[in-house]
Protein backbone atom coordinates (compact mmCIF):
# COMPACT_ATOMS: atom_id res chain seq x y z
CA UNK A 1 0.00 0.00 0.00
CA UNK A 2 1.33 3.43 -0.95
CA UNK A 3 1.96 5.89 1.76
CA UNK A 4 -0.15 9.07 1.42
CA UNK A 5 1.78 12.27 1.58
CA UNK A 6 0.51 15.66 2.53
CA UNK A 7 1.70 18.96 1.20
CA UNK A 8 1.84 22.37 2.80
CA UNK A 9 1.21 25.70 1.17
CA UNK A 10 2.07 29.14 2.41
CA UNK A 11 -0.20 32.18 2.33
CA UNK A 12 1.80 35.20 3.40
CA UNK A 13 3.38 34.22 6.71
CA UNK A 14 0.81 31.49 7.46
CA UNK A 15 1.51 27.89 6.47
CA UNK A 16 -1.60 25.77 6.02
CA UNK A 17 -1.87 21.99 5.62
CA UNK A 18 -3.12 20.79 2.28
CA UNK A 19 -5.04 17.68 1.26
CA UNK A 20 -3.49 14.26 1.44
CA UNK A 21 -2.37 12.96 -1.95
CA UNK A 22 -1.33 9.53 -3.05
CA UNK A 23 2.35 9.39 -3.93
CA UNK A 24 2.97 10.09 -7.58
CA UNK A 25 -0.37 11.77 -8.26
CA UNK A 26 -0.56 15.36 -9.40
CA UNK A 27 -2.59 18.02 -7.62
CA UNK A 28 -5.75 19.12 -9.43
CA UNK A 29 -5.32 22.01 -11.86
CA UNK A 30 -6.30 25.43 -10.54
CA UNK A 31 -9.66 26.84 -11.55
CA UNK A 32 -9.00 29.64 -14.02
CA UNK A 33 -12.48 30.77 -15.02
CA UNK A 34 -15.19 32.29 -12.89
CA UNK A 35 -18.55 30.56 -12.71
CA UNK A 36 -21.18 31.61 -15.25
CA UNK A 37 -23.36 34.55 -14.26
CA UNK A 38 -27.06 33.63 -14.39
CA UNK A 39 -29.05 35.21 -17.21
CA UNK A 40 -31.45 36.94 -14.83
CA UNK A 41 -28.54 38.61 -13.02
CA UNK A 42 -27.03 39.82 -16.30
CA UNK A 43 -30.42 41.24 -17.33
CA UNK A 44 -30.78 43.00 -13.98
CA UNK A 45 -27.27 44.48 -14.24
CA UNK A 46 -27.94 45.66 -17.78
CA UNK A 47 -31.24 47.26 -16.78
CA UNK A 48 -29.68 48.93 -13.73
CA UNK A 49 -26.79 50.29 -15.80
CA UNK A 50 -29.18 51.60 -18.45
CA UNK A 51 -31.35 53.32 -15.83
CA UNK A 52 -28.35 54.86 -14.07
CA UNK A 53 -27.10 56.32 -17.36
CA UNK A 54 -30.55 57.63 -18.24
CA UNK A 55 -31.13 59.24 -14.84
CA UNK A 56 -27.56 60.54 -14.76
CA UNK A 57 -28.04 62.28 -18.10
CA UNK A 58 -31.28 63.89 -16.97
CA UNK A 59 -29.71 64.94 -13.67
CA UNK A 60 -26.73 66.48 -15.48
CA UNK A 61 -29.04 68.44 -17.78
CA UNK A 62 -31.10 69.65 -14.80
CA UNK A 63 -27.95 70.85 -13.01
CA UNK A 64 -26.78 72.63 -16.15
CA UNK A 65 -30.14 74.41 -16.49
CA UNK A 66 -30.05 75.36 -12.81
CA UNK A 67 -26.57 76.86 -13.24
CA UNK A 68 -27.57 78.78 -16.38
CA UNK A 69 -30.70 80.11 -14.66
CA UNK A 70 -28.69 81.22 -11.65
CA UNK A 71 -26.19 83.08 -13.86
CA UNK A 72 -29.01 84.72 -15.83
CA UNK A 73 -30.74 85.84 -12.61
CA UNK A 74 -27.49 87.31 -11.30
CA UNK A 75 -26.97 89.25 -14.54
CA UNK A 76 -30.54 90.61 -14.53
CA UNK A 77 -30.28 91.63 -10.85
CA UNK A 78 -26.97 93.40 -11.53
CA UNK A 79 -28.49 95.22 -14.50
CA UNK A 80 -31.53 96.33 -12.49
CA UNK A 81 -29.31 97.43 -9.60
CA UNK A 82 -27.14 99.58 -11.89
CA UNK A 83 -30.18 101.10 -13.59
CA UNK A 84 -31.70 102.01 -10.23
CA UNK A 85 -28.43 103.61 -9.16
CA UNK A 86 -28.59 105.95 -12.18
CA UNK A 87 -32.14 107.05 -11.45
CA UNK A 88 -33.98 108.40 -8.43
CA UNK A 89 -36.98 106.08 -8.84
CA UNK A 90 -36.07 103.98 -5.81
CA UNK A 91 -35.83 107.11 -3.63
CA UNK A 92 -39.15 108.42 -5.02
CA UNK A 93 -40.87 105.03 -4.38
CA UNK A 94 -39.44 104.79 -0.85
CA UNK A 95 -40.87 108.21 0.14
Helix (H) or strand (E) holding 18: strand 14-22
Its pTM stands at 0.47
Mean pLDDT by 10 residues, the chain (95 residues): 51 54 65 78 85 89 97 96 84 77
Phi/psi at 30 (5° precision): -70, 150
Radius of gyration of the chain (CA): 36
Phi-psi sector, 12: left (phi>0), alpha (psi -120 to 50), beta:
left
Q: CA 66 to CA 69: how far, in whole Å? A: 5
- Does residue 4 sit in helix, strand or coil? strand
Where are the domains positioned within the chain? Answer: 69-95
What's the number of CA atoms in the CB half-sphere (13 Å) around residue 60?
6
pLDDT at 49 (0 to 100)? 86
pLDDT at 16 (0 to 100)? 53
Phi/psi at 10 (5° precision): -110, 130
Amino acid sequence: MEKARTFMFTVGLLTLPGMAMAQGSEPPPPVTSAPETPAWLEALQSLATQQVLEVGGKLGLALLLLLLGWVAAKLVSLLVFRLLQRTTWDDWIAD
